[in-house]
Amino acid sequence: MKKDVYLNVRKKTLDYFKKANIILTEEEANNLEVADFGLNNIEKVGLQIVTYINTERVCSKEMVLFPNQTCPEHKHPTINNVAGKEETFRCRYGKVYLYVSGEKSKNIECVAPNEFYTVFHQIVLNPGEQYTIYPDTLHWFQAGNQGAVISEFSTSSHDDTDIFSDPNIDRIPKID
């Protein structure tokens, strides 16, 4: 991702945190992660993240999705008999469409960005609503037309071990 794109996305993300009345310290704002997943299409596929804490046992993050922006399908795998990440998403602002393994929902609200999206059991989260995703569960999520701010509470996070359905994804951001 180009540096100017990163700076624009960063500013826009901080504006979303203000809309959701989420106050960040200067250090947290400076550590904002902009993940374009190596696809260079941040407005369509991406995720903006502030990590408050990530220890061996717990993790807490705030995430921003721009209008109709998608976090790609992935799962948090069990590795060496250690269960993958279990995470609870709580919507703080906007609307989040979460798709998980299970029976396909009849009225799908979102359009998957490409053919690598395979799960379509839809969960809709409005402000104040939450949903827990268990280890090894394929999932993806997309913001509604207003964008979304989501709090994540989870077990330890190891983003480099996430398994994405799209083989073109590179989870760790690179800024040119």
Average pLDDT over residues 57-61: 98
Question: Which domains does the chain carry?
Answer: 3-164 (2.60.120.10)
Residue with tokens 């904002």: 32
pLDDT at residue 176 above 90?
no
- In three-state form (DSSP H/G/I as H, E/B as E, the rest C), the secondary structure along 56-79 is CCEEEEEEEECCCCEEEEEECCCE
> What single-letter DSSP state applies at residue 82?
B
Strand partners, 143: 96
DSSP single-letter state for residue 166: S
CA distance 109 to 151: 22
* pLDDT tens digits, 118-165: 999 999 999 999 999 999 999 999 999 999 999 999 999 998 899 999
Q: What is the pLDDT of residues 126-139, one digit of tens each?
A: 999 999 999 999 99
* CA–CA distance, 77 with 82 (Å, rounded to integer): 9
What average pLDDT does the chain have?
A: 96
How confident is the model over 98-102, as a mean pLDDT? 97
Round to the nearest angstrom and report the end-to-end CA distance of the chain: 6
